[in-house]
Amino acid sequence: MSKYHNKVNKEVLKEQLLADNEPRTTISFYQYAQILNLNLFRDHLYILLERVGVLGRIYVAHEGINAQISVPTKKEEKLRQTLDKILFLQGIRLNKAIEDDGKSFFKLTIKKRHKIVADGLDDSSFDASKTGVHLTAEHFNEITSKEDTVIVDMRNHYESEVGHFKDAIKPDVETFRESLPIVEDILDEHRDKNIVMYCTGGIRCEKASAYFKHRGFQKVYQLEGGIIEYTRQVEKQGLDNKFIGKNFVFDERLGERITEDVISNCHQCGSKDDQHTNCANEACHILFIQCDACKEKYDNCCSAKCSDFIKLDKEEQDRLKPSMEFNGTKFGKGRYKASKKGEGLG
């Protein structure tokens, strides 16, 4: 294991950051590039970013880098200068969060991965550099207004549940890997149409658009910078916003509001709500949508069973945990739905 990693308890770090009033900015970026020595690159990157006060979660692989981070706002330019020291990151687009309090991450973690996004593809079987045509927000609005265009959400069901583009195809999937064959099957009858893909920040569409071109789709497009950059351009240029609801994000915030529309429901009581949370029972920890009333009723848990469990002392929890089944062990992300009475299935 690398010596460059955080050694302080996460809860301690969380308390420290919540008490810190220094403004921070949440940023994401990615880049496909050939990285030969992952260990060296990983350690070098950790040293550089730690000096700038960066917190966040970064994945590095031989194929590139995928980063979700936060940085002290006053050091944004220093971050840019730091990244420019790395040849393949020079001038990279930094996607700034739309709705941000700077409390998105509490420590810096850089992990080595086989791929920066798990896609299950054999990259040697096609040219991943031959991506779809990149669209600005203006061009996205233009092409998606045409009848011979199909819009595809390349995100997971729990992401599109709280927000998506109007008239988009939303695959009922839990992972990007799972979505590729399912989307291909859905699009088979639309091969002659414009295929426009989008995701959160653009990284999934980079690989997906190249893959679908390899599979014979001719008119493939992708939203440059994803939902995050689209929202920024729409606001700056005064364009019509075709996205409705909330943009799911993979950090402590779990979402940033794009429009005031609430298009999903509390998984417990069924009331209109779009606040994702993880069950407070660490033995469960399932991701689900919970309104404030149910949050109070169930102590931030997905069910009465989990609520009762967290009230036990730790020794009793540890004793019972191996023999108990919770929603988190029975359902995938966002798959949990409570009974009609709202008592939960846990």
Q: Which tokens go with 305?
A: 């069973």
Sequence-ordered list of residues with C-beta below 8 angstroms from that of 303, at least 6 positions apart, any chain: 279, 326, 327, 338, 343, 344, 345, 346
How is 109-177 classified by DSSP, letter by letter?
EEEE-S-SS-----GGGS-TT-PPEEE-HHHHHHHHTSTTEEEEE-S-HHHHTTEEETT-B----SSHH
Q: Is residue 199 annotated as part of the catalytic site, yes or no?
A: yes
Can you tell me the distance from the alpha carbon of 153 to that of 160, in angstroms, rounded to the nearest whole number? 7
Contact 338, 303 (CB under 8 A): yes
Residue 76 has phi, psi (to 5 degrees) of -60, -45
Q: Cα separations (Å) of 289 from 80, 125, 268?
A: 36, 39, 8
Q: Cα separations (Å) of 186 from 61, 195, 197?
A: 30, 11, 13
Q: Name the catalytic one among 199, 291, 294, 302.
A: 199
Question: Which residues form the catalytic set?
Answer: 199
